[in-house]
Structure 1
């Protein structure tokens, strides 16, 4: 710490003198006393934890299939020895480290006989929310060391009131954990004026983020290059930090994956091969190159956008590396055909630094600006968290009742999901070995007998149903479908005595094969 400034060239000596003078004016001895610092830290921790726990329980909707199928479903199979693994796990392009965290929690619940379906669903979400709260705390104290307390408070406010963070951070998505680890790593990164710099700590967190999600390297590439360029002892940095930490992370990841795949598997290589060289990601949709600039980033940053732009004009020189990382990430992801909002989520904390600086400088309009920002974020946060796309979770709550039926009678329920594949979670939200099936949709990996079941079904639903179930004895007991499909297969439903037993709201914005409501049909 003592020779940090001598090892890292962040600017001229005159700039450092000005910075120290400014900090001495902004912080009094009373503010920096251990007692006041401890009280402040306790307050920030309590606020963050309480806020994120409330956040967790007020997000009752689904976002993307990966929040279940790349985490909880895998964890459930690891812990309880039944479940379903998607094609990614059979092809070896996903790492087991992230699901292992939740599998560990599940195993503890099982050993103490507390593995109720409620805890199986909510405990991983609670853990994810606590990780997000920890990242919020580290973010606040990072800004406090870089700037003054006023800017730190407003940056913290912006971080908490972001509607997209509210929507994503408590979900069991690798993107959420990638963002948490990015935020933690940033607190140890050698930013101009940083007092908490530790190359080993931030590089270890970056390595962990890359293991969880290999694309984390996109976000961190310009930051790693910046650090390397500024470091005087480059050879020492490579030999003592980059190589040892990178090697340890790679070996750890490979060992964990080899144990669970039961063969030598290099997940990072497979991920690159399938998604980049074979273009498998394109199978799940593509967007024009400008999508992140015209829609993606605008939606993710939301009402914070004008404050971000204003903050960039104020702090461009001081935090140009953060701005460069944001632009670089958006540009690189723009080159890939498959685009999603969540892919650029990890750069959102970088943007909040500029937003906090903006609000701290808007003294005359601060009250109106904060009120507008709070309301503008509150509406989409509550709507997307409580209303939009909630049907696919609610339907699993209703299907849980079939577990009791299966245990108490000789009739074995058999559920068929006639929906776009992976529309709902699966055994992680049922937690009993109920017979369930959905329309599969693996991409074409060059196999001779390849066919996409979901596409074949939607090309002729009635023909598919009659062909798949030629005898009444082979029919499922329950069908789950979106309302837009009901009319098309009504003849099959009536002819086989299926009766609608539940109608569940899903979204106000139905699109394509996804309807406004979800129906549960039971055969009588």
Structure 2
């Protein structure tokens, strides 16, 4: 289906670093992780530097080629960010001072490099967009390396390297790694806070959990529940836990309240507002996006294939190993399995029970999916060794024929999913890029402004960073969608003025719509169907001239199973 614009008339290292960190002996000899033992048992694993090079290669690919899969990313983050940088952008009701569900502090924290880049070099807006994405890619890679090292420390080299491979090639990490979303930032913080916990750096773990909860997404505090259980009930360290909760509140929340209050023009505690709306309001978030309980199963399988299914049964696999395989007692310095992998299942339980489900809600636990998938593969190797081999030097020597096909198949499925996403869904971004090309080549009428219109394709608009300059204005046309669309910020004091015609119930606001006769360009998807408010503009050749057409996947006519990405 064409998406068009129309104008009127092997990541494993081959060596082992001898002077690497010393690791604790874990469950048995198979999980000995210092380099000397690794040589003895024939284990090879990537150093942190090698892992970073592999990861950053994959994440930069995501930054450049990944499409925006959620309109919330465009209208709640890229658009306010564009307003803060250029003084013009679209505003949603969540940023109205009357509701103040979103935080400008989060945007400032993320956009400081973009502000500096723009102030010094004054680049094209598209360069700012991809510069910011590449910074997110670098940040994600660094967090993943820390998480990889912490997994090696807590669960052993073999589980660590499997986790790394699963993260490297999964479509889920590809989508989430460079997204400008609080859930992506919470994913970064999950890797750092859980990594700090696995390193027994409790102060850092508490602070990073608080940073994730206050600055990006309050519900990310769920990730920290097992850390709190460890500190309060296992280590009985109430004093340290309380101290660092207070420190975190003072360092993070108080400045955040001050900054947001300046922007909104009144006292604002954005994390509290979003909790009140989602948990205690009469309708909460269930006005749209309500999905059945199995939505996350289908979506998880699309993003992680068999790794996700393996992660769902990790507790059963570990229980089977503990009952059937004779192993040495686990080192007392290690966390109990039931606690160390609890964040994943706690998150899945809570969010599966919520009627409102979206793919991005699982972003914070994507690294834990890879970890638990690796634990299940490791457990299956031990069970195979116990049942079919029983004797021998080391179980990894006798089960490599299980690991290599698993890694190859899951990686191949992940890469093919990534390629399918690019081929099927990247057309909107390519289409809007044509505007910059037309402007640079001078292929435009001599007008002071241009209205580029969208009807049913409003939610695939990739942001104002794709509009070449201030002469361009996005205009909405009425379509079959009956919800509330965003509107442009007021030019002066836009963040503190309560805009007219906004509501928190997603009720349609007719004032958002323009007239098609005012459109100079129109972006639409040709589905070979039409209705009163969604005519087939491709057939109106007497009114429109085709400028650019790019194929686009119609997922509703594709084979099941599927979970929506667009």
TM-score in terms of structure 1 length = 0.79
Structure 1 equivalent of residue 545 of structure 2: 499
Structure 2 equivalent of residue 522 of structure 1: none
Residue 356 to residue 116, structure 1, CA distance change in 2 (3 Å): same
Q: 1:62 aligns with which of 64, 68, 77?
A: 68
Aligned pairs, how many?
470
Measured against aligned partners, the alpha-carbon deviations of 1:286-314 in whole angstroms (never above 9, x if no partner) come to: 123x2346434444442213543564344
Structure 2 equivalent of residue 393 of structure 1: 429
Q: Report the Cα distance in structure 2 between the residues aligned to 1:155 and 1:451, rounded to whole angstroms.
A: 44
Structure 2 equivalent of residue 348 of structure 1: 366
1:83, CA displacement in angstroms? 1.5
1:391, CA displacement in angstroms? 2.3
* 3-state SS of paired residue (1:365): helix
- 1 or 2 for the larger relative contact order (CA 8 Å, sep ≥6)? 2
Structure 2 equivalent of residue 479 of structure 1: 522
Q: Is the 8 A contact 1:420 1:439 kept in 2?
A: no
Most deviating of 318-327 and 304-313: 304-313
1:85, CA displacement in angstroms? 1.6
Most deviating of 259-268 and 304-313: 304-313
Q: Report the Cα distance in structure 1 between the residues aligned to 2:184 and 2:151, rounded to whole angstroms.
A: 21
1:63, CA displacement in angstroms? 0.6
Residue 283 to residue 420, structure 1, CA distance change in 2 (3 Å): farther
Structure 1 equivalent of residue 60 of structure 2: 53
Q: Report the Cα distance in structure 2 between the residues aligned to 1:197 and 1:497, rounded to whole angstroms.
A: 67
Alignment of 1:383 onto 2:420: yes
1:130, CA displacement in angstroms? 0.7
Coordinate RMSD, CA, aligned? 3.6
> Greater share of helix residues, 1 or 2?
1
Query: Please, which runs of 5 or more residues in structure 2 have no aligned partner?
Result: 1-23, 323-335, 382-398, 486-499, 559-566
Residue 200 to residue 453, structure 1, CA distance change in 2 (3 Å): same
Structure 1 equivalent of residue 405 of structure 2: 368
Alignment of 1:43 onto 2:50: yes
1:272, CA displacement in angstroms? 1.9
Alignment of 1:118 onto 2:161: no
Q: Is the 8 A contact 1:174 1:213 kept in 2?
A: yes
Q: Report the Cα distance in structure 2 between the residues aligned to 1:387 and 1:426, rounded to whole angstroms.
A: 20
Alignment of 1:188 onto 2:231: no
* 3-state SS of paired residue (2:138): helix
Q: Report the Cα distance in structure 2 between the residues aligned to 1:293 and 1:126, rounded to whole angstroms.
A: 28
Q: Is the 8 A contact 1:222 1:328 kept in 2?
A: no
Residue 274 to residue 402, structure 1, CA distance change in 2 (3 Å): farther
* 3-state SS of paired residue (2:290): coil
Q: Is the 8 A contact 2:101 2:271 kept in 1?
A: yes
Q: 2:473 aligns with which of 417, 435, 438?
A: 435
1:486, CA displacement in angstroms? 7.0
1:204, CA displacement in angstroms? 1.4
* 3-state SS of paired residue (1:422): helix
Q: Report the Cα distance in structure 1 between the residues aligned to 2:274 and 2:427, rounded to whole angstroms.
A: 32
Give the 5 Å matches for 1:407-426: 409-426=446-463
* 3-state SS of paired residue (2:153): helix
1:330, CA displacement in angstroms? 1.6
Q: Report the Cα distance in structure 2 between the residues aligned to 1:28 and 1:335, rounded to whole angstroms.
A: 44
* 3-state SS of paired residue (1:504): strand
Residue 18 to residue 139, structure 1, CA distance change in 2 (3 Å): closer
Give the 5 Å matches for 1:199-238: 199-210=202-213, 211-234=215-238, 236-238=239-241
Residue 420 to residue 273, structure 1, CA distance change in 2 (3 Å): farther
Q: Is the 8 A contact 1:390 1:507 kept in 2?
A: no
Q: Is the 8 A contact 1:493 1:499 kept in 2?
A: no
Q: Report the Cα distance in structure 1 between the residues aligned to 2:502 and 2:537, rounded to whole angstroms.
A: 37
Structure 2 equivalent of residue 452 of structure 1: 508
